[in-house]
A and B are shown apart, each in its own frame.
Chain A
């Protein structure tokens, strides 16, 4: 595989990624991070325009895509809510895409409907990068998670990883688990009974040779882990309030929970957090979640640069 294979490619779903693809993107991201560290700024994307179409609010994803494009020397146009665009007048997604592709060289899309990015990619002649389509996929989050793990441990193979929180509705943990299945890892799935990982995903992981354990007990599991990936229990994904109230605040990662953890344990979280990780963890050697935020820059620089064909 080389960089030319990526020119014009869409980044819609982790399902489209092979292990080789993942490793390639992470390698390019690592090289860009090093180069950026040495030079301060780069100019690979000079003269190129990124359009960020955010139909749903986001802090990290939109800002890090925009920052990544600026770091590559390119420029950015776009909107950050549907109400400030023609969508409010009833324009279809396909028409918006056909318009915006004439103003830009690459499109980053976040949309509330499942499958919106796939449709946009079919319509657009410029590459489309999915920044979250409803409850379906958020592939750049998965890639930056893998990048963070590789940077922190120097490897992904051989790690024992716990996924904690809403494993039923959380798209982040679904696609992370599926990507981790490419590696030699042992997974602990820790959640309240009613928020267990969907059966078909657990089966798929086992079929791919991953040793999967399921537990409701965080404290018992923590000592076994090299990495604990924490997610927020998302109120907006619950069909009814009562179910949400039952599991709200089920788990909190704090100093007491981490008392028996390995010294080298790292804790990740895609953020925003509510109360799943106590701020007292922030200053410890376990906290990796702010480094994880930074990973968004090199990984998104790599994807923008590769799909634009400027690297």
Chain B
């Protein structure tokens, strides 16, 4: 039987992001800025059966290796994602996305009265809980969770 990932064409060089929660692939693509015309071919698989998640999305990016900062960005919407770096059709590096203790400059504080939305300062959040994901704004101390995280990325 063919393995799941063969449902989408194998890439020769690039990054495979697996275990994205179902329906979040577009958000991943947007956060990573992969909608630009010069960012290489994207291969998307959505609603793929998964032992871990029930259903999952997979994004394959040809010709691009993710940096650690980019990985942190998607950790907020795909906390269980695994990232495979592919060279010459082989996986040369594999790592799990980890939600960091502290998130800076990725999401905006949803509180309109937060000083971070009024002064020239990079928004910062402390991770209060990983599952479910809950963040606390470093400045206004409000907690952000669920859809409010997605909406403010």
Contacts and interface: CB of A to CB of B under 8 A. Distances in A.
B120 A15 contact: no
Interface in A108-130: 111-116, 118-119
Contact of A115 (B120, B140, B143): B140
Interface residues of A, number: 19
B142 A94 contact: no
A17 to B, nearest CB: 13
A200 interface: yes
B138 interface: yes
Nearest to A200: B143
A81 B108 CA distance: 29
Contacts of A112: 113
A136 interface: yes
Given A94-B119, A94-B120, A113 B114 contact: yes
Nearest to B121: A119
Interface in B105-153: 111, 113-116, 118-121, 137-143
B143 A114 contact: no
Interface in A1-17: 13, 15
A103 to B, nearest CB: 21
Contact of B141 (A13, A93, A94, A113): A13
A134 interface: yes
Interface of B: 111, 113-116, 118-121, 137-143
A15 B119 contact: no
A13 B140 CA distance: 10
B141 A92 contact: no
B99 to A, nearest CB: 20
A252 interface: no
Contacts of B139: 114-116, 118-119
Contacts of A115: 114-116, 137-141
7 contacts: A115-B115, A115-B116, A115-B137, A115-B139, A115-B140, A119-B116, A134-B140
Contacts of B141: 13, 15, 114-115, 136-137
Contacts of A111: 115
B14 to A, nearest CB: 39
B121 A135 contact: no
